[in-house]
Amino acid sequence: MLNKRIDELQEELLSSTQRLLKIRSLEGQALPGMPFGKEVNDALMEALKISEELGFKTKNVDGYAGYAEYGDGDEYIGVLGHLDVVPEGSGWNHEPYGGEISDGKVWGRGSLDDKGPIIAALYGLKAIKDLNLPLSKKVRIIFGTNEETGCGEIEYYLKKEKAPIMAFTPDAEFPIIYAEKGILNFTMHSDFSQSGNVIISYIKGGERVNIVPGYCEALVKGADRAILDSYIIQNRAAIDIEECEEGMILKSHGVSAHGSTPEKGKNAIMELILALNTLDIDGKAGIIIDTLAHKIGRDVNGENIGAGLWDEPSGKLTLNAGVINMTETSLDFRIDIRYPVTKNKTEILDGIENSLKKSEIEIKDIDEVGPLYFSKDHELIKKLQKAYAEVTGFDSEPLAIGGGTYAKSMPNTVAFGPAFPGRGDLAHQPNEYISIDDLMMSAKIYGRAIYELAK
């Protein structure tokens, strides 16, 4: 019955999705009642207008968030999606904010992340409402506005509204994400002076801590080029050397990847550090380069630096050496760690600091987002798994990931779709789209999931 009704609503669902996609909802300057700017607020107002047209009660939570509500009772089931998007960038063959439908796809920034999926959930609830299926709990489709730049809207929402007893966010991938590793970022810092024949004037590399750096360069004075050439040949290192008046500029080329999966990339910073460690660098600078080469090197699981942790639900800890800025007198090296869900920050940092005792390096500027972990036998996981299996015919196992999702911002929440296995990662990319078939399948899965949780 749900599937049939959702199929009947396809034209409306696509039209509502287009209405949101035509709004360029990037974070802007805060205005009265519009904490994330006018464009994001326009999208929130449109989502609430669509919800009202579908017959739902709505509420605007002071411009930070809003929701469509159906049913009665004190407890509620939540579906959390976001209306803000990342900048469109370049390389599009379709208008980024045109909401174009062609080739069986809905094109536009936010079509997959996350306007299309949250509209799919809204129409899943609309089908439940139209069929008058009995529910024992309220349901809220919650429209977030700040996921791409901080999730500050959910913190505000939770000051004004109580949390759902169970919820999911259509802002990741199917089948279900039951475990998300903790995220730990910190800076390896040292102050020093240099003397001797070989001087490192600078090392600069990396864009963001959560990206495997694809490029790094260094200016070195007094180095023996023959030693470097020998290293490059023996290790087939993608390092270019340019001689200049000040010395030699070393340019290291790697392969970028997401920081949560550093094994999929090639770290340009660490390849350059390994090459520099073949040189005769005196004093503290030499100790630092040697420490980085031996304690990190090509190790992406933190084993060499005293953080080689593992657990059964989520696997090994991962480490990405993300951004380096070294001068003749200081080092700042930003590190991204994704740690297993049953471990904690203290045991990781204790292991690292013990490993670095004699290195002249200190740890500072620590940031953490804790892990998210539900047992596979948890009621929320089992019911979402059931909904996915009944609609798709696939009884897939829940996933554990190193990345963090919107689920971490809201209690009692897991990530659930919308990207189906094998589809590739289109979020944040030029020509972002969701196929009509996937959008409709998502609506059916979300309608079934809402019913399972609230019936």
What is the C-alpha to C-alpha distance for residues 454 and 75, in angstroms, rounded to an integer? 10
What is the chain's length? 455
What is the C-alpha to C-alpha distance for residues 382 and 455, in angstroms, rounded to an integer? 15
Catalytic residue among 147, 173, 180, 311: 147
Catalytic residue among 27, 39, 46, 84: 84
- Measured CA to CA in angstroms, residue 348 lies from 158, 307, 312 at distances of 30, 5, 17
What is the C-alpha to C-alpha distance for residues 216 and 228, in angstroms, rounded to an integer? 16
> Closest Cα partner for 140 from 84, 61, 27, 25?
61
Name all contacts of 85-94 with Cβ < 8 Å and 24+ positions apart: 85/24, 85/25, 85/26, 85/109, 85/110, 85/113, 85/115, 85/148, 86/26, 86/148, 86/428, 87/26, 88/24, 88/430, 89/430, 90/430, 91/430, 91/431, 92/430, 92/431, 93/430, 93/431, 94/431, 94/433
Q: Which residues pair with 252 in a beta bridge?
A: 216, 239
**Annotated catalytic residue 147:** yes
CB 311 within 8 A of CB 398: no
Helix/strand/coil for 294: helix
**Annotated catalytic residue 191:** no
C-alpha dihedral sign at 417, 418, 424, 427? negative
Q: Known catalytic residues?
A: 84, 147
